[in-house]
A and B are shown apart, each in its own frame.
Chain A
């Protein structure tokens, strides 16, 4: 099983991943909300910016909070997927994710999370510094 490896020490905070993610998850013809984020430093320390993306937790806060079973793990990829058909839009997963990797997309009125681009994460392909590697 291939995993999305994060090497925060290599992240240069260029936000290429954010851009790639938004353009890989279009809403109509517009770029959607990025599911991967660069966390900027609240204290403004230099060289801080670090990439954060869904960790596909084994004991996932979002899954535990969801009352509608709209989040499910695909045993083939190990990733947790959001199923809009089953989602009731109660915001529980957004509140429940302890790492801030579940986002609310106003344009679709649904939460969005990393779906590993269905098994071929684009952020890892475009990351210039090797902070994101899918292997």
Chain B
């Protein structure tokens, strides 16, 4: 089907969202909570666009989140109208008050002309950079083990394992920390241990050289997922490379 984005006819497919169609067409829409690996949740509200459906009056529009709104025949989308910019600016003022140090928030805020938030800054936050986008919880729940979730409400809303206590559901794979857009999740790595969400994991030493590989829980999870032996995962990358070289050596002389 064809939809109109900023006056340009763009090909869109049934079932996809405005954001997907726009990005494929090279139209930039800012997002902080969008991650290709998981379903969208419309948490950050930054992808707000102005739409008009087929049959609506010419002057009638609605603001929707591009990441959740499905395309439909005859849809007209404005991604950078004054109304859209005003809304995004308001959202960025709130995000900046919440997480003034978060790099992507600052970059976007500057882009929308927000230097200082008119709202009071959040104080004594446990995760000061967390903007509650929920990528970490969605990634963990959909793709790994579901160890963390959102809890509390309103200003107290936060991310973590149930009751904020260390959980054995977490395998210490760092997917949450790696996919966090604002680098909000603290990870401590000493070389032999890894601490995340209040739990300290011992890193399994490489069977050959003793360098750290993954956590025991992560290796157990991979064994279950792939059906391979645990020993396969307990060798560090450098030693695996050397073993490959050794095999080459055997067959080439």
Interface residues of A (CB under 8 A from B): 6-9, 11, 37-42, 45, 48-52, 61, 64-65, 67-70, 83, 85-92, 94-104, 109-110
* B residues 226-251 in Cβ contact with A at 8 Å: 226, 228, 232-233, 235, 237-246, 248-249, 251
Cα A86 to Cα B142 in complex, Å, equals 13
CB closest chain-A residue, reference B176: A88
Contact among A64, A90, A99, A104 with B244 in the assembled complex (CB-CB below 8 Å): A99
Contact among A67, A68, A69 with B225 in the assembled complex (CB-CB below 8 Å): A67
Contact among B144, B178, B248 with A67 in the assembled complex (CB-CB below 8 Å): B144
Given contacts A88-B35, A94-B237, 8 further A-B contacts (CB under 8 A): A42-B246, A48-B249, A88-B139, A89-B175, A91-B174, A95-B214, A96-B222, A103-B237
Which residues of A have CB within 8 Å of B246?
39, 41-42
Cα A70 to Cα B143 in complex, Å, equals 11
Please state if A86 and B237 are interface contacts (CB–CB under 8 Å): no
Shortest beta-carbon distance from A118 to chain B in Å: 19
CB closest chain-B residue, reference A68: B37
Please state if A95 and B178 are interface contacts (CB–CB under 8 Å): no
Contact among B222, B226, B244 with A52 in the assembled complex (CB-CB below 8 Å): B244
Interface size class for chain B?
35 or more
CB closest chain-B residue, reference A63: B226
Please state if B245 and A49 are interface contacts (CB–CB under 8 Å): yes
Check if B218 is an interface residue, CB within 8 A of chain A: yes
Please state if B249 and A8 are interface contacts (CB–CB under 8 Å): yes
Which residues of A have CB within 8 Å of B245?
38-41, 48-50, 52
Cα A113 to Cα B228 in complex, Å, equals 21
Cα A97 to Cα B253 in complex, Å, equals 26
Please state if B178 and A109 are interface contacts (CB–CB under 8 Å): yes
Could you pull out 12 A-B pairs where Cβ atoms are within 8 angstroms?
A9-B253, A39-B244, A39-B248, A42-B246, A64-B225, A68-B139, A83-B36, A85-B36, A88-B35, A90-B175, A94-B237, A110-B178
Check if B182 is an interface residue, CB within 8 A of chain A: no
Indicate with 1 or 0, residue by residue over B152-194, a CB within 8 angstroms of chain A CB atoms. 0000000000000000000001110111000000000000000
